[in-house]
């Protein structure tokens, strides 16, 4: 038998070899990789990115209308920051093209009869019309600002989507690390179990042991193997879940580090200030309020008159084979000011203004609720973060004590000063301490992530 100190050196070396073998066989996925791949590949993130482009496309003066619509959205039409230019060349009443008519006429004097006479005609009348309302109650300016705020809102929605998706990815990632830590502890217990099997067999052979101890050590050894397999199954499930978030094939294999690192400290005062300034849910609520205010200006502008200018140029040409007028040609232009003012539209504009005022009040209440909820989330995360750090420190001490206790128990069992039941109890305590430490580290990391998310700093 090896001395106890040498045995623990062997245990440490074996664990390191196991970890090294795993790292070599699979690519190591770092937390930076998770963040990068999530932002680049995730379906929801890419959809949110497309929505930014849509909002950016809409934010142009070409879509800004100043018409008399009762809605607070883009009205389009013949008004706005840009004039509307149209070219026409014919209509259903006066088509552009060639015509042919066949006539048959009967008179009392047969010499005047016309039998199936074909008459050809050619006509076209193209026109160019330009209309521009340069005043619409300042609605066009409110609409342009609203489109700009909508683009800013889409950026905030994108950031919130990235945060939510990233939180899911990192939660899964750190859960994998926690499982790996526990598997590492179980493998250490497995090595100890192998040594105890041999020791029990040697004692029985020397006539100072019991067959019960031999059988029990084998049972315990098998149980540890079962636990390792179960944890490996959980690890595989989390790997598949993370691959789904990263938009990777479910069978992509990778390894994760075996240590959870806490990078921040729970400081509440500065965190509360960050939440007020950076929390995306709160910022989205404030941006919605800005959009509501601009929409109200649009509705009010609908009650104002419209003033603009218009001009057109028309050319008309028509010819016929017979008749007194064989050719008719006209062309020319005209232009001037245009004015319109809807005095009464069944109180539709008035109703829209009142409803929008209520919408502003409702969105203001939603904003207050969001601010309270997000600050509550921050405080809960802060308290959880602070307490979990204390728990981690306690669990680290428990692991150190359990490790010392296990060393003493193993030595006593080897010297015949205790039975295997006592040693087995101590070994289970050691395994429980390792598991509790891995879970405490995982819970602390989740608290840290939620603490950062509430501040709007998770994406950073």
**Chain segment 272-297, per-residue pLDDT in tens:** 999 999 999 999 999 999 999 999 99
Cα separations in angstroms, 89 against 128, 329, 370: 9, 15, 57
Task: Give me the pLDDT at residue 153, please.
Answer: 96
Q: d(Cα 191, Cα 300) in Å, to the nearest integer?
A: 79
At residue 314, the pLDDT reads 85
Q: How far apart are CA 41 and CA 165, in angstroms?
A: 11
Question: Worst-scoring range by mean pLDDT, 4-8, 103-107, 147-151, 385-389?
Answer: 4-8
Q: What is the dihedral of CA 20, 22, 25, 28, to 10 degrees?
A: -90
- For the chain, the C-alpha Rg in angstroms (whole number) is 41
96 contact partners, CB below 8 Å, separation of at least 6 = 89, 90, 123, 124, 125, 126
Predicted local confidence at residue 6, as pLDDT = 45
Cα distance between residue 290 and residue 56, in whole Å: 18
Query: Tokens 């390191």 map to which residue?
Result: 16
Q: Containing H/E element for 140?
A: helix 139-206
Can you tell me the distance from the alpha carbon of 44 to that of 348, in angstroms, rounded to the nearest whole number? 39
Q: What is the pLDDT of residue 95?
A: 60
Cα–Cα distance, 431 to 423 (Å, whole number): 13
Tokens standing for residue 55: 């909002």
The residue ranking higher by pLDDT, 95 or 111, is 111
pLDDT given at position 281: 96
pLDDT band at 94 (very low <50, low <70, confident <90, very high): low
The structural domains of the chain, with segments of one domain joined by +, span 4-65+136-305+343-454, 85-132+307-340
H or E element: which one contains 315? strand 306-320
Residue 92 CB neighbours (<10 A): 5
User: pLDDT band for position 344 (50/70/90)?
Assistant: confident
Q: What is the DSSP letter of 86?
A: E
Mean pLDDT of the chain, nearest integer: 84
The 8-class DSSP code of residue 80 comes to: S
Regarding the domain delimited by 4-65+136-305+343-454, which CATH topology (the fold level of the hierarchy) does it fall under? Outer membrane efflux proteins (OEP) (1.20.1600)
Say whether 311 sits in a helix, a strand or coil: strand
Q: How far from each other are the two terminal CA atoms of the chain, in whole angstroms?
A: 55
In whole angstroms, what is the distance from residue 50 CA to residue 268 CA?
Answer: 36
Q: Compute the CA torsion angle 410, 411, 416, 420 (nearest 10 deg).
A: -10
pTM: 0.80
| Residue 335: closest CA among 110, 83, 72 | 83
| 226 membership: H or E segment, kind and range | helix 211-245
Report yes or no: 227 and 179 within 8 Å, Cβ to Cβ: no
Q: What are phi and psi of 281, to 5 degrees?
A: -65, -45
Average pLDDT over residues 382-407: 94
91 band by pLDDT with thresholds 50, 70 and 90: low
Which among 97-101, 110-114, 322-326, 360-364 has the top mean pLDDT? Answer: 360-364
Q: Show the DSSP H helices in 309-418 as ranges.
A: 348-414
Which of 127, 107, 102, 129 shows the shortest CA–CA distance to 117? 102
For the record, the structure tokens of 230 come out as 């179960």
Environment class of 328 (CB within 10 Å of its CB; exposed 0-12, middle 13-18, buried 19+): exposed
Name the strand (E) or helix (H) holding 309: strand 306-320
| CB of 115 closer than 8 Å to CB of 104 | yes
User: How would residue 12 be classed by pLDDT, with cut points 50, 70 and 90?
Assistant: very low
pLDDT tier, 390 (very low <50, low <70, confident <90, very high otherwise): very high
């Amino acid at each position: 038998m090896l001395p106890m100190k040498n045995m623990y050196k062997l245990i440490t070396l074996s664990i390191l070899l196991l970890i090294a073998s795993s790292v070599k066989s699979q690519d190591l996925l770092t937390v930076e990789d998770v963040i990068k791949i999530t932002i680049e590949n995730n379906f929801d993130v890419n959809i949110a990115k497309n929505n930014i482009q849509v909002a950016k496309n809409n934010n142009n003066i070409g879509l800004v209308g100043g018409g008399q619509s009762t809605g607070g959205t883009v009205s389009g039409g013949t008004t706005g920051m840009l004039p509307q230019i149209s070219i026409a060349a014919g209509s259903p009443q006066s088509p552009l093209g060639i015509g042919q008519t066949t006539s048959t006429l009967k008179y009392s004097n047969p010499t005047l009869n016309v039998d199936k006479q074909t008459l050809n005609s050619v006509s076209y009348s193209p026109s160019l019309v330009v209309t521009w309302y340069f005043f619409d109650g300042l609605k066009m300016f409110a609409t342009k600002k609203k489109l700009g705020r909508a683009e800013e809102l889409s950026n905030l929605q994108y950031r919130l989507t990235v945060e939510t998706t990233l939180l899911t990815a990192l939660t899964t990632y750190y859960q994998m690390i926690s499982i790996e830590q526990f598997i590492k502890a179980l493998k250490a217990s497995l090595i100890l179990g192998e040594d105890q099997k041999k020791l029990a067999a040697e004692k029985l052979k020397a006539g100072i042991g019991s067959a019960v101890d031999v059988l029990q050590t084998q049972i315990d050894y098998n149980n540890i193997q079962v636990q390792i397999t179960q944890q490996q199954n959980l690890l595989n499930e989390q790997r598949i879940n993370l691959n789904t978030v990263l938009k990777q094939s479910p069978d992509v294999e990778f390894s994760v580090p075996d240590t959870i690192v806490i990078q921040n400290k729970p400081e509440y005062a500065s965190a509360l200030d960050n939440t007020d300034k950076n929390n995306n849910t709160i910022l989205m609520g404030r941006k919605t309020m800005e959009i509501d205010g601009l929409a109200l200006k649009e509705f009010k502008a609908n009650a104002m008159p419209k003033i603009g200018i218009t001009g057109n140029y028309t050319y008309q040409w028509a010819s016929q084979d017979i008749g007194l007028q064989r050719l008719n040609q006209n062309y020319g232009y005209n232009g001037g000011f245009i004015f319109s003012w809807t005095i009464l539209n069944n109180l539709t504009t008035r109703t829209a203004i009142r409803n929008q005022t209520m919408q502003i009040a409702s969105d203001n209440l939603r904003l207050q609720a969001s601010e309270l909820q997000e600050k509550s989330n921050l405080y809960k995360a802060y308290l959880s973060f602070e307490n979990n750090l204390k728990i981690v420190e306690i669990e680290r001490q428990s692991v150190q004590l359990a490790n010392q206790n296990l060393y003493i128990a193993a030595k006593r069992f080897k010297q015949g000063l205790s039975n295997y039941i006592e040693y087995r109890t101590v070994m289970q305590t050691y395994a429980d301490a390792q598991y509790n430490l891995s879970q405490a580290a995982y819970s602390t990391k989740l608290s840290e992530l939620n603490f950062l998310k509430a501040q709007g700093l998770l994406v950073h």
